[in-house]
């Protein structure tokens, strides 16, 4: 199959920083905002392979992208190699940059299906899934793993080797066990060990929130490609800021005016994407992040959470921006 060499892909070059897959967050508007602020690539929210194969409309919509987005990977989850291969074929038809396989989701609903992080206990099945997907599509296939189910069942080296052997182009490691969910700190030493064990690129994910943590993760792990998840909540500019910081400048401080404009831009894009009602509800989870560190944030957040229309949201944000000029 005519697959482009991974290291020749611009977004896969050393130094690339991407938006991690984030269920409930990494939808087209959020991704576009991150691209506008310098993300090199992004990954969709996780998409159910079975749902895609069944033809579910809501699932199918997760594959859509907005004009202006950069390279996007479609992340699939499931436990059946045949369904994942078929889902990858369906996804490939929409022209994504790559297909990413989810072997890390710790959520019970996913685990119960034997998918996500449950697969870290069955490297044989990981290998069959990756092999089936690699054979099914002419795109780079990547996989995102955790350190293992638990400390006693560490499996990232074995899983990484199986993925490389199956023909994956890169492996992302979020170095926490399933039992840790998102708590504690990511163990970056696992990334260093995996990088030493594989010849395909290892993409680092976990606890990068600014230039300092970016420099540290690169220094400790030797990984050349990094994904940022929670660090981009309320700070879509983190990608460009890190790059500017590396180039010798300092990380720019974003004035409140710019933060306010970014919330409004996201809210408007969400409205165009999902309709007003859903946009107003789904935007609520973003406010806490955008307002972090702002005096009076709690009151503004409460008012924003109570808003029923985008017009009301914009009025509150306008007030906030004016008050703190
Ligand atoms: C709200 C939320 C949703 C997430 N959804 C996904 C997902 O759909 N697929 C996935 O592989 N990882 C998912 N993750 C994990 C992140 O991609 C990332 O690996 C993890 O949060 C650690 O990186 P961070 O510290 O930069 O957030 C999610 C994390 C969070 C906080």
Ligand 1 interacting residues, C-beta cut-off 6 A: 20-25, 45-46, 75, 102, 104-105, 144, 174, 182, 205-208, 228-231
Is the predicted pLDDT of residue 25 greater than 90, yes or no?
A: yes
**What is the full DSSP assignment across 97-144?**
SEEEEEE----HHHHTTT-GGGGGG-HHHHHHHHHHHHHH-SS-EEEE
Q: What is the pLDDT of residues 95-114, one digit of tens each?
A: 999 999 999 999 999 999 99
- Nearest in space to 146 (alpha carbons), one of 170, 110, 182: 182
- Here the tokens at position 77 are 């989850």
Q: Which CATH number fits domain 6-246: 3.30.70.260, 3.20.20.70, 3.40.1280.10, 3.40.50.720?
A: 3.20.20.70
What separation in Å is there between the alpha carbon of 46 and the centre of ligand 1? 10
- Are 169 and 142 within 8 A, CB to CB? yes
Please confirm, yes or no, whether 105 is among the known catalytic residues.
yes
Predicted pLDDT at 318: 93
Give percent above pLDDT 90 in the chain. 89
Q: What is the pLDDT of residues 167-218, one digit of tens each?
A: 999 999 999 999 999 999 999 999 999 999 999 999 999 999 999 999 999 9
Predicted pLDDT at 324: 60
Predicted pLDDT at 242: 96
Beta-bridged to residue 144, according to DSSP, are: 102, 172
- What is the rounded distance in angstroms from the CA atom of residue 62 to the CA atom of residue 181? 24
* Radius of gyration of the chain, Cα coordinates, nearest whole angstrom: 20
Nearest CA to ligand 1 atom 9: 21
Band (pLDDT 50/70/90 cuts) for residue 251 is: confident
Q: What is the pLDDT of residues 41-76, one digit of tens each?
A: 999 999 999 999 999 999 999 999 999 999 999 999
Q: Which residues contact 201 (CB under 8 A, 6 or more apart)?
A: 6, 7, 12, 169, 170, 171, 223, 224, 225
Predicted pLDDT at 1: 67
Ligand 1 nearest atom to the CA of residue 45, by list position: 8
Domains 6-246 and 256-323 share a fold: no
Q: Which residues contact 31 (CB under 8 A, 6 or more apart)?
A: 19, 39, 42, 44, 65, 66, 69, 72
Q: Catalytic pick from 34, 105, 168, 223?
A: 105
Q: Which residues contact 274 (CB under 8 A, 6 or more apart)?
A: 282
Band (pLDDT 50/70/90 cuts) for residue 253 is: confident
For the chain, the domains span 6-246, 256-323
- Are 89 and 136 within 8 A, CB to CB? yes
What separation in Å is there between the alpha carbon of 225 and the centre of ligand 1? 16
The DSSP bridge pattern shows strands 72-77 and 98-103 to be parallel
Q: What is the mean pLDDT of residues 230-244?
A: 96
Give percent above pLDDT 70 in the chain. 99
Band (pLDDT 50/70/90 cuts) for residue 295 is: confident
Predicted pLDDT at 249: 79
What does each C-alpha distance from 61 to 34, 165, 274 come to in angstroms? 20, 32, 11
Is the predicted pLDDT of residue 325 greater than 80, yes or no?
A: no
The yes or no reply on domain 256-323 and CATH 1.10.3720.10 is: no
Alpha helices in 137-255 (DSSP H): 156-165, 188-197, 211-221, 238-246
- Here the tokens at position 163 are 């993925």
| pTM reported for the whole predicted model | 0.97
């Amino acid at each position: 199959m005519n697959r482009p060499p991974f290291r020749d892909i611009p977004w896969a070059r050393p130094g690339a920083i991407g938006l991690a897959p984030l269920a409930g967050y990494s939808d087209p508007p959020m991704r576009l905002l991150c691209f506008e602020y310098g993300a090199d690539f992004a990954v969709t929210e996780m998409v159910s392979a079975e749902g895609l194969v069944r033809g579910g409309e809501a699932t199918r919509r997760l594959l859509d992208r907005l004009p202006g987005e950069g390279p996007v990977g479609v992340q699939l989850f499931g436990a059946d190699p045949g369904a994942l291969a078929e889902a990858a074929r369906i996804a490939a038809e929409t022209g994504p940059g790559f297909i990413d396989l989810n072997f890390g989701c710790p959520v019970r609903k996913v685990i119960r299906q034997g998918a996500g992080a449950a697969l870290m206990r069955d490297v044989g099945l990981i290998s069959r899934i990756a092999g089936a997907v690699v054979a099914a599509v002419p795109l780079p296939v990547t996989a995102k793993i955790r350190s293992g189910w638990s400390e006693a069942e560490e499996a990232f080296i074995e899983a990484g080797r199986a993925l490389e052997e199956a023909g994956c182009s890169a492996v992302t490691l979020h170095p926490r066990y399933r039992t840790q969910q998102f708590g504690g700190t990511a163990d970056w030493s696992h990334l260093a060990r995996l990088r030493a064990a594989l010849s395909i690129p290892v993409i680092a994910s976990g606890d990068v929130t600014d230039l300092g943590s970016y420099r540290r993760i690169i220094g400790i792990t030797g990984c050349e490609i990094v994904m940022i998840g929670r660090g981009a909540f309320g700070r879509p500019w983190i990608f460009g800021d890190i790059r500017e910081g590396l180039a010798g400048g300092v990380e720019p401080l974003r004035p409140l005016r710019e933060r306010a404009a970014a919330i409004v831009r996201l809210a408007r894009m969400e409205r165009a994407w999902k309709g007003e009602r859903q946009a107003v509800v789904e935007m609520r989870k973003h406010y806490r992040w955008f307002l972090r560190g702002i005096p009076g944030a709690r009151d503004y957040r409460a008012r924003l959470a109570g808003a029923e229309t985008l017009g009301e949201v914009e009025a509150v944000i306008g007030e906030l921006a004016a008050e703190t000029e």
